[in-house]
Amino acid sequence: MPTSRIARRALLATATAAALLTGGLATLQAHAAETPQILATPTVPPSSYPGPGVVTGDIGVHDPTIVKTPAGTYLVAHTGDNIALKTSTDRTAFRNAGTVFPNGASWTTAYTGGSRNLWAPDLSYRNGQYYLYYSASTFGSNKSAIFLATSSTGASGSWTNQGLVIESSSGNDYNAIDPNLVVDASGAWWLSFGSFWSGIKTVKLNPSTGKRADSTVRSLAGRGGGAIEAPVVFKHGNYYYLWVSFDLCCRGASSTYRIMVGRSTSSTGPFVDRNGTALTSGGGTQVLASHGSIHGPGHQAVFADTDAEVLVYHYYTNSGASQLGINLIGYDSAGWPFVY
């Protein structure tokens, strides 16, 4: 065991004893909450899929994305009219916080058939502001577009439309929805996206604008036209993990969504699953699927918090309602993620 870890555990033991002597259990619990970095990431998966962690309040979501603010609170955006927002102070209790565009987003209606419903946002906080990539489309069509908005506060009505990032049409073999921004170890910006058609793609962005840096479209994953969408590229250790959703959402308790993963030493692939199968050839290692009263978990987001890496997703209840799911992420001895 490294000396630093021994020292940290000794300090924790001293603090524990002091807490019990002077403040009792409440003080001990408060101290433990302030030192999540001492908890080790689990390496042994549970014997079955865990239920979602406890969340309360306004938890009706679809296609959630989440960012931790500089103040330590949480901001969620999700599919809805003009893009819905929620906030939380503790990652447990959530409340509605209005919409990104309370006055509408007229620039998107050419892709939505006039609907105000905007899909699958992706939130991040970089360079002192919030970036929001989001989709405009209609079901079954690849006449689609991804737009960018920015805000200094993240609050409803504070967002500035930065315009079109990429679009697709019947002449393309890809679908420009479900964006996700990753900044790789070299500082390069990449936007992954895609649903059905020829699969998951990525384009390089200019960090100064958040828009495309070139015209190249690279392939990350695909199922020969089958159901794959909602990419998230997230770096852990020496690997970039590509998280995707297989199969079908949006069917209530009959949804078959499931969360899959592959990994690569590069943010642009090639990604392979646990068996070595390329994700561009239909590969993927399953991380979470339907179980018990949890139906069709998917359209995931991944972020690093102070206590653990966190998987955020939606799932359907027995009644067909779409709700927020949150679990923590561990990694087994071979470096493959699981949820607990």
Q: Are residues 163 and 19 in the same domain?
A: no
Tell me what pLDDT residue 142 has.
Answer: 95
Tell me what pLDDT residue 35 has.
Answer: 33
pLDDT tens for 215-247 read 999 999 999 999 999 999 999 999 999 999 999
Residue 36 or residue 100, greater confidence = 100
Instruction: For residue 2, give its domain range.
Output: 1-39
Catalytic-role residue among 122, 229, 273, 309 = 229
Of residues 237, 189, 185, 181, the one with CA closest to residue 65 = 181
* CB-count burial class (<10 Å; 0-12, 13-18, 19+) for 215: exposed
Instruction: Please give the mean pLDDT across all residues of the chain.
Output: 90
Quote the Cα angle for 170-175-180, to 5°: 160
Tell me what pLDDT residue 19 has.
Answer: 33
Strand, helix or coil at 298?
strand
pLDDT range class, residue 304, cuts 50, 70, 90: very high
Of residues 65, 123, 61, 68, the one with CA closest to residue 90 = 68
Of residues 310, 241, 248, the one with CA closest to residue 279 = 241
- For residue 257, give the H/E element and its range: none
Eight-class DSSP state of 258 = E
Q: Are residues 35 and 51 in the same domain?
A: no
pLDDT tens for 142-173 read 999 999 999 999 999 999 999 999 999 999 99
Q: Are residues 138 and 243 in the same domain?
A: yes
Q: What is the mean pLDDT of residues 170-180?
A: 97
- For residue 333, give the H/E element and its range: none
Q: Are residues 293 and 329 in the same domain?
A: yes
Question: Other CB atoms closer than 10 Å to residue 141's CB: what's the count?
Answer: 14
pLDDT range class, residue 333, cuts 50, 70, 90: very high
Domain count, the chain: 2
Q: Which residues in 181-193 are b (16+ Cβ under 10 Å) and which e?
A: bbbeeeeebbbbb
Q: How many Å apart are CA 274 and CA 315, to the nearest integer? A: 25
Q: Are residues 63 and 29 in the same domain?
A: no
Percentage of the chain beyond pLDDT 90 is 88
Tell me what pLDDT residue 28 has.
Answer: 28
Q: How many Å apart are CA 251 and CA 246, to the nearest integer? A: 14
Q: Are residues 32 and 50 in the same domain?
A: no
pLDDT at residue 340 is higher than 70: yes
pLDDT range class, residue 41, cuts 50, 70, 90: confident
Terminal alpha carbon distance of the chain: 25
Q: How many Å apart are CA 340 and CA 44, to the nearest integer? A: 10
The encoded tokens of residue 321 equal 């309602």
Q: Are residues 112 and 146 in the same domain?
A: yes
Residue 57 or residue 13, greater confidence = 57
pLDDT at residue 103 is higher than 50: yes
pLDDT at residue 66 is higher than 50: yes
CA 150 to chain centre: 18
Q: How many Å apart are CA 324 and CA 74, to the nearest integer? A: 14
Q: DSSP states of 118-133 as a string?
A: EEEEEEEEETTEEEEE
pLDDT tens for 2-32 read 333 333 333 333 333 333 323 333 332 333 3
Please check whether residue 169 is in contact with residue 142, taking contact to mean a CB–CB distance below 8 angstroms: yes
The answer to whether the peptide bond before residue 102 is cis (omega within 30 degrees of 0) is no
Find all residues with CB under 8 Å of 301, minimum gap 6, and list them: 64, 65, 66, 122, 232, 311, 312, 313
Return the residue matching tokens 């561009």: 280
Q: What is the mean pLDDT of residues 284-292?
A: 98
Tell me what pLDDT residue 12 has.
Answer: 32
Q: Are residues 23 and 53 in the same domain?
A: no
Please check whether residue 252 is in contact with residue 320, taking contact to mean a CB–CB distance below 8 angstroms: yes
Q: Are residues 73 and 167 in the same domain?
A: yes
pLDDT range class, residue 39, cuts 50, 70, 90: low
Eight-class DSSP state of 41 = P
CATH of the domain at 278: 2.115.10.20
pLDDT range class, residue 38, cuts 50, 70, 90: very low
Q: Are residues 238 and 325 in the same domain?
A: yes
Radius of gyration of the chain (CA): 20
The encoded tokens of residue 326 equal 């949150």
| 229 tagged catalytic | yes
Q: What is the mean pLDDT of residues 170-177?
A: 97
Q: Are residues 33 and 55 in the same domain?
A: no
Q: Are residues 252 and 305 in the same domain?
A: yes
Of residues 106, 173, 165, the one with CA closest to residue 133 = 165
State which amino acid sits at residue 169: S
The β-bridge partners of 205 are 189, 212
